[in-house]
Structure 1
């Protein structure tokens, strides 16, 4: 749990870079990849990550320029990646300008429950990681190279001249 904003910003900065790497690796053709009929596509998952920034922190009263929750998925991978870049920077800037560590202790109505600000940020953080993991599977199914996130991906081991670790 985050006890101060600086700790959140430090962790979020690193995770947002990883999310951006995933979004930057998408192609227009890959956006329609789905794990099964009727489930979210790769493009929908990417857009969900973008628009959730606004959706979740707006419950805490923070207003900033961003892609809005409920808007249609863009047609290109570049639009999704750029929207994340812009929305994320805008969100972090607004947080730094408007929030204090006390914001983490305040209570907010989140989906019919009362969560303190620290919980909202923890869920936002975990939500991003959760969906990013789903996206890497769909990226493989779509034939995309998956960037290493917490270490080298299979292809990156090969580029280093080393065999990937055994399963």
Structure 2
């Protein structure tokens, strides 16, 4: 299997997982915050959706600088978030389909100004900075959902709500 094919399978699977979760949300819950140090449900969901598009940042740049490149997404409805998730997927799919597979072995860095947060090959950045980060925050979102009594969908198998 090619690197492109493997990346596309993972990209599509994670998009479907995120879509399944976001589809259960309601716009009225976007202001919910389980703790004063937590993001609101809306901020967290926006971050999850924008993380999907970090595939582009990893594959098309040598560095991603939070002080220069990061603009938080601030969508306010489930429909808008699902639409962005889908459009970003299509954009990333096209990038992967057109890329030279050797690019994933090139170096990439995550920075905050002059401070290097992480430096690794792009293949590692796709796993560590994008996918693992995405899965982490998606897990947080399912806790918010549980606290709000919003049924949590199964992701890697049935959830307690799927069994009910």
TM-score (structure 1 length as normaliser) = 0.79
2: CA distance, partners of 1:125 / 1:57: 13
Residue 154 of structure 1: aligned partner: 160
Unaligned runs of 5+ in 2: 62-68
* Residue 89 of structure 1: how far off its partner (Å): 1.9
Query: Secondary structure at 1:108's aligned position in 2?
Result: strand
Q: What secondary structure, in the 3-state scheme, does the structure 1 residue paired with 2:35 have? A: coil
Q: CA RMSD in A?
A: 2.1
Query: Would the aligned equivalents of 1:33 and 1:141 in 2 still touch at CA under 8 Å?
Result: no
Q: Which residue of 2 aligns with 1:121?
A: 126
Q: 1:122 to 1:87 in 2, by over 3 A?
A: same
Q: What's the secondary structure of 2:120's corresponding residue?
A: strand
Cα distance 1:107–1:72, how it changes in 2: closer, same or farther (>3 A)? closer
Matched, 1:26 2:31: no
1:83-94 alignment, distance < 5 Å: 83-94=84-95
Deviations 1:77-101 (A, max 9, x none): 221122112112211222212x122
CA distance in 1, matches of 2:78, 2:9: 27
Count, aligned residues: 150
Alpha-carbon distance in structure 2 between the residues aligned to 1:46 and 1:36: 16
Q: Could you tell me the TM-score, scaled by structure 2's length?
A: 0.80
Farther-moved stretch of structure 1 (134-143 vs 104-113): 104-113
1:11 to 1:155, Cα distance in 2 relative to 1, 3 A: same
Higher strand proportion (structure 1 or 2): 2
Q: Distance in 2 between matches of 1:43 and 1:139?
A: 12
Q: Residues 1-167 of structure 1: matches in 2 within 5 Å?
A: 4-55=3-54, 57-61=56-60, 69-97=70-98, 99-111=99-111, 112=116, 113-123=118-128, 124-158=130-164
* Counterpart Cα distance in 2 of 1:72 and 1:104: 26
The structural deviation recorded for 1:55 is 4.4
With 52-61 and 138-147 compared, the bigger mean Cα shift is at 52-61
- Shift in alpha-carbon separation, 1:79–1:69, aligned structure 2, 3 A: farther
